[in-house]
Amino acid sequence: MATPRHLSRAPIAEATVDVRIEGRALQAAILEPLANELTSTYPVLEPRSLMEATFSSVEGRLATQAQNLGVQGYFLRSTARDRIVQLRVDGFTFNRLPQYVNAEEMLDEAIPLLMRYLDVAKPDVASRLAMRYINRLALPFDAGNDFNRFLTAAPPVPAELPQMVSEFRTRVVLFYREMEPVIVGQRLTTLLDKPSEVLLDVDAIKNGRFDLQEVSLRAHFGELRQRKNDVFFAHLTEEAVNLYE
């Protein structure tokens, strides 16, 4: 495990703050004025619709029927397309793409937007809070290196089998406590004549019934951020982390 610390060149491909809501039946039309208002900062506005398809067998033939369920929310993007605000009938999401700076900056931008959304949506409670970080690491494995050179939890290959591996995927669900999982995904793809690319995907989640006060929400996201950091550094060696200082 590497020592947790700030990385000046953190390998974050995408960071996400997500809230799911329960209570009031929400129509997308209620969100439209807020979406239009936010175009001053996030000018690329995209309504998002939902299609529902059903499949059946009629006299031995496959029959399909599609139904347009209408607009279910709005996606807004910054001019640089590095920030995305999702206003949906079932919740709110803020996506931060490169160049990511730090969690404080992301939360300082996301939480005021979330509070605006909650003022309009007026749900009873939040039922799910999450912070997800997708890290894209270019790791200079040499031919024949043990995965443990950079990774602390790579899948082992039985000693009786060939040890040259070009790809793997793992998915582990950890629980800090009941209803509070952290989903950890790892994927290795070896690129010819380039460093191996490893995706380390950490999704820290709280399920329950959460009040909608800003102070409370910030505290929950602070805890999720700490768990995300713990998991990230626990999966990497010092040599791997040193590449991103």
Confidence at residue 189, expressed as pLDDT on a 0 to 100 scale: 81
Q: 130: how many CB neighbours lie within 10 A of its CB? A: 22
The tokens describing 179, both together, are 């209803």
Closest CA to 184 of 152, 222, 208: 152
H-type helices in the chain, by residue range? 28-38, 103-121, 214-234, 238-242
Encode pLDDT of 56-68 as tens digits: 766 667 767 666 6
Confidence at residue 145, expressed as pLDDT on a 0 to 100 scale: 77
In the chain, the amino acid numbered 24 is R
Alpha carbon distance 169, 238 (integer Å): 22
Encode pLDDT of 112-147 as tens digits: 999 999 999 999 999 999 999 999 999 988 766 788
